[in-house]
Amino acid sequence: MVDDNELNRLRDIAAPAPAHDAKARAFEAALRAYDQENISAITQGSVGGLRLTERAQKLWSEIMQKKLIATPALAGLVALPIAGYATFHLLREQPPKFGGDEKITETLADKPATVKPTTAQPKPAPTGLEKDKKADADVESRDATDTLVAPASPQKSESTAAGGAAQQNALERGVLAEPAPPTPTGEFALDGAVSAPSTSRARMPAESKLMAPQQPSTLPADQMQPQPENRDRIEDFKTNPVHAALEDPVSTFSIDVDTASYSFVRGSLKQGTLPQADTVRVEEMINYFPYDWKGPESASTPFNSTVSVMPTPWNTHTRLMHVAIKGFDVKSTEQPKANLVFLIDVSGSMDEPDKLPLLKSAFRLLVSKLKADDTISIVTYAGDAGTVLEPTKASEKDKILSAIDNLTPGGSTAGEAGIKEAYRLAQKSFVKDGVNRVMLATDGDFNVGQSDDDDLKRLIEKERKTGVFLSVFGFGRGNLNDQMMQTIAQNGNGTAAYIDTLAEAEKVLVEDASSTLFTIAKDVKIQVEFNPNKVTEYRLIGYETRALNREDFNNDRVDAGDIGSGHSVTAIYEITPKGSGGEQIDKLRYGQASVDNGGVANADEYAFVKIRYKLPNEDVSKLITTPVTSANEISSFDQASTDQRFSVAVAAFGQKLRDEDATAKFGYDKIMEIATAARGADPFGYRSEFLSLVRLASALGGNR
């Protein structure tokens, strides 16, 4: 047994300082062991990184070749251990490759972070790897700490000589030393204020002795790198309010068959973020999906409407009035000739994979869909507009595809000039009683010429009167002018779609080509008058940007939406039946009229639905009316058709994404339950994809 007194004596004896060469050998052995035990083969899909020795070699190469260390005493001294370590491994393993075929992946650690001079940057809490790095460096840092304390004023020392030697080496290579760049801070900084960032796993000596303590910052590390500017322009709008049927019984709006909002929402969710509320237009979400509504029997009546009243799944006190419209489906053999002008944005901002390359692939799909005697022209615009392809028959497919393939980006965005040139070509090859349409594909603003939305609106309205319509297709994010797209599409008797994938391009330009290209009715408006005897309150779900004045319904000069061949349009009202107890608006104290069937006509009707439309080549509207009575009622939500229930699930999802009061207590799980049960036939997988988006939103929003 060891005597306690001997232990006490050993405890009081000071440990001898380790020899410098012993520390160096121990440090080297520890680094080799760390490499062998902790660095495994690169996994599949990983970005190749540099091993420790390669990092040291790369750093020393930067020091010698790129003048990353200038002459201050501190920098010169810190360079010495790095130089020795790098040289040792260069001799042991292999000479570094300068200018060979070997590629080194550059990461943020290879670049100094931009630091504002007046703002202290954070030093993040050490991760497990950083703790290992610090442990590797502690042996050397303890020995050098006292020497590396920065003096209050510059003094000559051995480190100055070392720094001078490094500068002399640079001069001998014919390169003048440059002033050191601002010292990087945070996790990319070198302890000791070295001007070049180190990629070595071994940290430089303890920074507590070398630099002032760093102040915390609220900026996360990923914001230290430059972030692309988001210049998307989205129209702001307020959700439709609840109306009292007694005070304001009439609702008027233009139909909408655009689908841009759904694609935009999908893109946001798949990128891991909930969409901005104003990007969610609920009617475009609902109308994205094809529905098997009952259509008209002949082309003489371009569409048929079906109205149903059913319980509301998110409110037991209200009901949903579901209005479904189906357009006549023109057979491909009966489709008129098409005269199409592709107006393509080739400005510099289109030089991204999800913009011009995707656009070219999308238009190739459309070309393959057209008939041989259809006509195609191509106009591009950047700094100015130019005609790439004069009117050409679709039978000359190779010529058309070659013109598309040769498109290259560059320049600013002269959209006005492009539109004028496109309309000129459309008129040049105008097809009487046919389809004459400009198809604008862009990622954003028109920043040369007329760029104001109102000016563009007037230009489009003028050309629309000639019989040439316009559709808009948006590509990419960060510069998308959704507000402009909606404005000119609505006033050009066309549709607005957002294409974010090739699958979406196929849906819009191939699967839905007939409804996209061939208009069967224009200026379609809906007006609903609610009966205060049956309905106390109502609100229209969506269509906020399509609202019309009551008097606009009978005014044929007021433009409205169009319906294409086979198109389906759905509108849903949430209504509060009289006596249900779900009223949100207090009754009037004075002047309330009695409507207890005291001679009131049609007192048993919920509402009266009126639809106005014009045939494509006519300027006088026609009227279709539908009374909504108890015969339109469905006793339970489960008894509604599959398509009706699915469209209601989409309506609930859109309201949920907008954080509307109506669905505040209706969770994503309930939406998923309804949509799953009503998925039905899904040949293209659109509804399955919708279910995945609900799951993503639930995960991002916490199923609130």
Range(s) of the chain covered by CATH 2.60.40.1230: 243-330+520-582+601-701
Confidence band, pLDDT 50/70/90 cuts, at residue 254: very high
Q: What is the pLDDT of residue 177?
A: 41
Q: Percentage of the chain with pLDDT > 90?
A: 45
CATH number 3.40.50.300 is the correct assignment for the domain at 243-330+520-582+601-701: no
Confidence band, pLDDT 50/70/90 cuts, at residue 461: confident
Q: What is the pLDDT of residue 513?
A: 84
Q: What is the pLDDT of residues 364-373, one digit of tens each?
A: 999 999 999 9
Is 277 or 134 the better-scoring residue by pLDDT?
Answer: 277
Phi, psi (5° rounding) for residue 581?
Answer: 85, 5
**Poorest-confidence range of 258-262, 520-524, 563-567, 582-586?**
582-586
For residues 349 and 493, is the Cβ–Cβ distance under 8 A? no
Q: What is the pLDDT of residue 134?
A: 44
Q: What is the pLDDT of residues 107-123, one digit of tens each?
A: 333 344 443 444 444 44
CA distance readout (Å), 360 to 5, 66, 394: 88, 42, 16
Say yes or no to pLDDT of 309 above 70. Answer: yes
Range(s) of the chain covered by CATH 3.40.50.410: 332-517
Geometric angle at alpha carbon 473, from 621 and 393, rounded to 5°: 85
For residues 539 and 315, is the Cβ–Cβ distance under 8 A? no
Q: What is the pLDDT of residues 327-375, one digit of tens each?
A: 999 887 778 899 999 999 998 888 899 999 999 999 999 999 999 999 9
Q: What is the pLDDT of residue 400?
A: 96
Q: What is the pLDDT of residues 482-521, one digit of tens each?
A: 888 888 888 888 889 999 999 999 999 998 888 888 888 9
Burial of 585 (0-12, 13-18, 19+ CB in 10 A): middle
Task: Tell me how far apart the alpha carbons of residues 20 and 241 are, in angstroms, rounded to a whole number.
Answer: 79
Q: CATH says 332-517 is which class?
A: alpha beta
Q: What is the pLDDT of residue 671?
A: 97
Helix (H, G, I), strand (E, B) or coil at 375: strand
Task: Tell me how far apart the alpha carbons of residues 393 and 335 are, in angstroms, rounded to a whole number.
Answer: 16
Q: What is the arithmetic mean of pLDDT over 677-690?
A: 95
Confidence band, pLDDT 50/70/90 cuts, at residue 186: very low
DSSP-assigned states of every residue in 214-255 = PPP-SS-GGGGS-------B----PPPPPEETTT--EEEEE-
Is 287 or 96 the better-scoring residue by pLDDT?
Answer: 287
Q: What is the pLDDT of residue 557?
A: 92
